[in-house]
Chains A and B, each alone.
Chain A
Amino acid sequence: MINATHLHTSYGDNTVLHDASFAVEAGTIAALIGSNGSGKTTTLHVLAGLATPDAGTATVNGVDVTTNRTAAQEHLAFLPQDVRFHEALTPRQVLRFYAGLRDAPPDRIDALLETVALIDAAEKPTGDLSGGMRQRLGIAIMEMAEAPVLLLDEPALSLDPEWRSFLMDRLRAHADDGAAVLLATHLLDVWTPIVDRVFHCEEGQIRKEDANPTPVPEDVRMASPS
């Protein structure tokens, strides 16, 4: 589903990705972990078609992002770290816009707003929403895409424990339905309950790969998600 092969990216003299390779299969939730500047976000940006690598290939659901960006993006949804929208637009307008871009049926908008508990704020400008509410709107956009590949950059940062748990459940459900999920984080402890695979990112390389980090029983996770 997600394949990165010998990715190399640099900005001037600063090498951000150096021969990074990994794969995430369908039905798997994988985490890219590493400190700030280790190349996690750049890796996600390459996979989402937001950045072009100097060398290497990145495929999403079998489509090469580097050579066929738009076609590959039909198979993925990306949730950025800092979720922002045009401040004058309301959540309903934002969702309707992204539904239009995906040619998705607009009758799902209200249901999605209900799901992320934004129905009461549906007509408020997004500039007036908190970071957590914007993040939930981002999750709704991601859900709208119904994509087989989900890419998330530090998705827990603005969410409270309740919504973190909600997101974990949603990601697990998507993976169980056959999606490949890749999230970048430096908070592995938060995500340990649901991830199947961990890639350790250091200085732009995948140094180590762990399968099945210690699973946490669901009742424990629900009681103490963070």
Chain B
Amino acid sequence: MPLTKLPTSVYRAILRREATTTFHNRFVQIFAMIVIGGSIAVGALSGRPSAIPFGLLLLFLYVVPLFGLLIGVSAAHEEHDERAFLWSQPVPRSIYVLGKTATLVGALAVVLLTALVAAAVGGATPGTLALLWGLGVALVLVSVSGGVAIGQYTNGRARGLMMALTLWFGAFALYDALALALSSVEAMQNLPVVWVSLLLLNPVDAVRLTGLFGLENVPFSAPGEAAWMADLLTWLPAWTAVLTVAWTGLLLLLACRHLRRLDL
């Protein structure tokens, strides 16, 4: 049955349930405390008001991908014991994945919104606030989708959380270390397109670059043959949006496809 043909009571039931369970999710509670506490610390310790948005960007980059993955995995595993009941109801299994993801993304997006109070108090412009929130939500979308997908592919909660940590370490640190190592190879230095592409395919790096260039508010410039990169970076926010949609869609597609074929 197509999702669009489901009665509205199904959507209401799923969103209500997910809102309640999200509220009880320990990782969500810890995430909210760290983000709100962290934003207060950034506001208090930044020295100059203009530095606050950079501090918040760093906070988002460090905290959101990790917790997004952990929250997605834990939320997916919370319903494993109930699968026999859930899957014998006359609704497509994918509705549970999509409902869970939508609710978690909504909840985390609200938490990020509260973190922006520090920047607003520091005098950040509405454009800066919108950029920071948009980048934070992009990280939430990709990481929660990744966590929910991992939760469908793993049987044990501990294994799922370990996989999430491994993925986070890979995307956050290992990937950049690899790009850095590649850039030191002379042959690769003549091929900037390779390592720029590498950075722009990783959502964490794309958000980092978009945030830094957006907050600095200075146009990128590169001499000679690399001048095309300036054009590319002009469209960085749009690219990050496309990348977010692509990664989120791919991860949710994998999760739904796996769930559709899974047997109890």
Q: Which residues of A contact B (CB under 8 A)?
A: 45, 48-52, 70-71, 73-74, 76-78, 80, 82-86, 88-89, 93, 96-103, 138, 141
Q: Can you list 30 A-B contacts (CB < 8 A)?
A: A45-B84, A45-B263, A48-B84, A49-B88, A50-B87, A50-B88, A70-B90, A73-B89, A74-B90, A76-B88, A78-B85, A80-B84, A80-B85, A82-B81, A83-B85, A86-B21, A93-B20, A96-B16, A97-B17, A98-B13, A99-B9, A99-B13, A100-B13, A100-B14, A101-B9, A101-B14, A101-B89, A101-B90, A102-B89, A103-B7
> Which A residues are in CB contact (< 8 Å) with B12?
100
Any chain A CB within 8 A of the CB of B227?
Answer: no
Any chain A CB within 8 A of the CB of B122?
Answer: no
- Complex Cα distance, B81 from A88, in Å, reads 13
> From residue B83, how far is it (CB to closest CB) to chain A in Å?
8
Would B10 and A100 count as touching, CB distance under 8 A?
Answer: yes
Would B79 and A86 count as touching, CB distance under 8 A?
Answer: yes
Would A45 and B89 count as touching, CB distance under 8 A?
Answer: no
Query: B89: nearest residue on chain A (CB-CB)?
Result: A101
> Which B residues are in CB contact (< 8 Å) with A100?
9-10, 12-14, 16
Would A50 and B10 count as touching, CB distance under 8 A?
Answer: no
Query: B25: nearest residue on chain A (CB-CB)?
Result: A88
Would A51 and B264 count as touching, CB distance under 8 A?
Answer: yes
Query: A50: nearest residue on chain B (CB-CB)?
Result: B264
Would A101 and B88 count as touching, CB distance under 8 A?
Answer: no
> From residue A50, how far is it (CB to closest CB) to chain B in Å?
4
- Complex Cα distance, B250 from A152, in Å, reads 37
Would B90 and A93 count as touching, CB distance under 8 A?
Answer: no
Any chain A CB within 8 A of the CB of B121?
Answer: no
> Which A residues are in CB contact (< 8 Å) with B83?
50
Any chain A CB within 8 A of the CB of B231?
Answer: no
Query: A51: nearest residue on chain B (CB-CB)?
Result: B263
Given A51-B263, A96-B13, A85 and B90 contact (CB-CB distance below 8 Å): no
List 18 additional contacts besides A71-B90, A85-B81; criterion CB under 8 Å: A45-B263, A48-B84, A48-B88, A49-B88, A50-B84, A50-B87, A52-B261, A70-B1, A70-B90, A76-B88, A89-B20, A93-B20, A96-B13, A97-B17, A100-B10, A100-B13, A101-B13, A102-B89
Would A101 and B21 count as touching, CB distance under 8 A?
Answer: no
Tell me which of B81, B89, B92, B263 has the highest count of chain A C-beta atoms within 10 A of its own C-beta. B89
Would A101 and B91 count as touching, CB distance under 8 A?
Answer: yes
- Complex Cα distance, B223 from A183, in Å, reads 76
- Complex Cα distance, B91 from A211, in Å, reads 35
> Which A residues are in CB contact (< 8 Å) with B91?
70, 101
Chain B interface secondary structure, helix, strand, loop or mixed?
helix
> From residue B20, how far is it (CB to closest CB) to chain A in Å?
6
User: Which residues of chain B from 1 to 54 have any CB-CB distance to chain A below 8 Å in the complex?
Assistant: 1, 7, 9-10, 12-14, 16-17, 20-21, 24
Would A103 and B84 count as touching, CB distance under 8 A?
Answer: no
- Complex Cα distance, B13 from A86, in Å, reads 14
Query: A104: nearest residue on chain B (CB-CB)?
Result: B9
Would B13 and A97 count as touching, CB distance under 8 A?
Answer: yes
Query: A151: nearest residue on chain B (CB-CB)?
Result: B88
- Complex Cα distance, B88 from A20, in Å, reads 21
Query: A41: nearest residue on chain B (CB-CB)?
Result: B264
Would A102 and B263 count as touching, CB distance under 8 A?
Answer: no
- Complex Cα distance, B263 from A85, in Å, reads 19
Given A71-B1, A88-B24, A103 and B10 contact (CB-CB distance below 8 Å): yes
Would B16 and A70 count as touching, CB distance under 8 A?
Answer: no
> From residue A207, how far is it (CB to closest CB) to chain B in Å?
24
> Which A residues are in CB contact (< 8 Å) with B88?
48-50, 73, 76-78, 80
> From residue A56, how far is it (CB to closest CB) to chain B in Å?
14
Q: Which of B89, B263, B264 contacts A98 (CB 8 A)?
A: B89
Query: B15: nearest residue on chain A (CB-CB)?
Result: A100
Would B78 and A86 count as touching, CB distance under 8 A?
Answer: yes
Given A86-B21, A89-B21, A73 and B90 contact (CB-CB distance below 8 Å): yes
> Which A residues are in CB contact (< 8 Å) with B186?
none
Would A141 and B1 count as touching, CB distance under 8 A?
Answer: no
> Which A residues are in CB contact (< 8 Å) with B16?
93, 96-97, 100
> From residue B187, how far is it (CB to closest CB) to chain A in Å?
47
> From residue B13, how far is it (CB to closest CB) to chain A in Å?
2
